[in-house]
Amino acid sequence: SQQGEEDPQALSIQEGENATMNCSYKTSINNLQWYRQNSGRGLVHLILIRSNEREKHSGRLRVTLDTSKKSSSLLITASRAADTASYFCATVHSGAGSYQLTFGKGTKLSVIP
Amino acid sequence: NAGVTQTPKFQVLKTGQSMTLQCAQDMNHEYMSWYRQDPGMGLRLIHYSVGAGITDQGEVPNGYNVSRSTTEDFPLRLLSAAPSQTSVYFCASTLTGASLMRGEKLFFGSGTQLSVL
């Protein structure tokens, strides 16, 4: 499987703190996306970073990509209780010859008010 | 604009029964896909389609059947349900397979929770 791996599997922080989640993958990628899933709901796209980018920002989100280490990180600054959710990275692999978005196992974030 | 609609939301089956999970999108997306989500396993791709009449296997296709007769609909069939198919199933779509490769996001339905006894 080319599935990515997030760590930690679970993260619990106080409101106002920053949350960092990491994703590692196995083969070369075209791009990497991060998704969020609230309990019992479908996934929602957060941010995309392309293989030629190293860092990207969107509001309180900061994503980095290190293709040499095959890893990415998602930073949520000044967390809120509403950020409580599971977060997944997803990759499209270059040269795969098929149209597949592969998801990691996710990090479950709990933000305590 | 409803987006991606999945039915039913919940289903309980007995081993050996068959059923079809429905997925419809109203965004004129050519690419549609089915994932299953199990605790600790993330989402795994079952089947996908890049257009009407075209389907392909994902990571875990065994025990599932798909067809794509229209752009809007992409049903997932379980011909003989097994307890190992107990899971939450998500349908997702995007513009095209090529746009997915370029980084276009997937739009997800709200899921079908399936239990096979």
> CA–CA separation, A91 vs B70, rounded Å?
28
Report the sign of the C-alpha dihedral through residues A112, A104, A58, A42, in that order.
negative
End-to-end CA distance of chain B: 36
Q: Which of A99, A102, A105 sits opposite B31 (nearest CB)?
A: A99
The mean pLDDT of B52-77, rounded to a whole number, is 96
* Pair of tokens at residue A19: 């949350």
Residues of B in contact with A41 (CB under 8 A): 110-111
Q: Which residue has the tokens 């025990």?
A: B63
A42:B44 CB<8 A: no
Kindly state the DSSP code that residue A3 receives in the 8-state scheme: -
> CA–CA separation, B9 vs B16, rounded Å?
20
* HEC sequence for chain B: CCCEEEECCEEEECCCCCEEEEEEECCCCCEEEEEEEECCCEEEEEEEEEECCEEEECCCCCCEEECCCCCCECCEEECCCCHHHCEEEEEEEECCHHHHHCCCCCEECCCEEEEEC
Is B64 at the interface with chain A, CB within 8 A? no
The model's pLDDT over B6-52, given as tens digits with 9 standing for 90+, comes to 999 999 999 999 999 999 999 999 999 999 999 878 899 999 999 99
Q: Which residue has the tokens 């990491």?
A: A22
The mean pLDDT of A85-91, rounded to a whole number, is 96
Is B111 at the interface with chain A, CB within 8 A? yes
A30:B101 CB<8 A: yes
> CA–CA separation, B104 vs B112, rounded Å?
24
The predicted pLDDT at position A6 comes to 82
* Pair of tokens at residue A80: 């809120």
Q: Three-class SS of residue A88? A: strand
Alpha carbon of B40: minimum distance to chain A alpha carbons (Å): 6
The predicted pLDDT at position A3 comes to 59
* A interface with B, Cβ–Cβ below 8 Å: 1, 3, 9, 30-31, 33, 35, 40-45, 48, 50, 88, 90, 92, 98-106
The model's pLDDT over A19-70, given as tens digits with 9 standing for 90+, comes to 999 999 988 888 999 999 999 899 999 999 999 999 999 999 999 999 999 9
Q: Three-class SS of residue A83? A: helix
A33:B31 CB<8 A: no
Is B90 at the interface with chain A, CB within 8 A? yes
Q: Which of A3, A33, A99 sits opposite B42 (nearest CB)?
A: A3
- Residue B23 β-bridge partners: B6
Q: Which residue has the tokens 């939450």?
A: B88
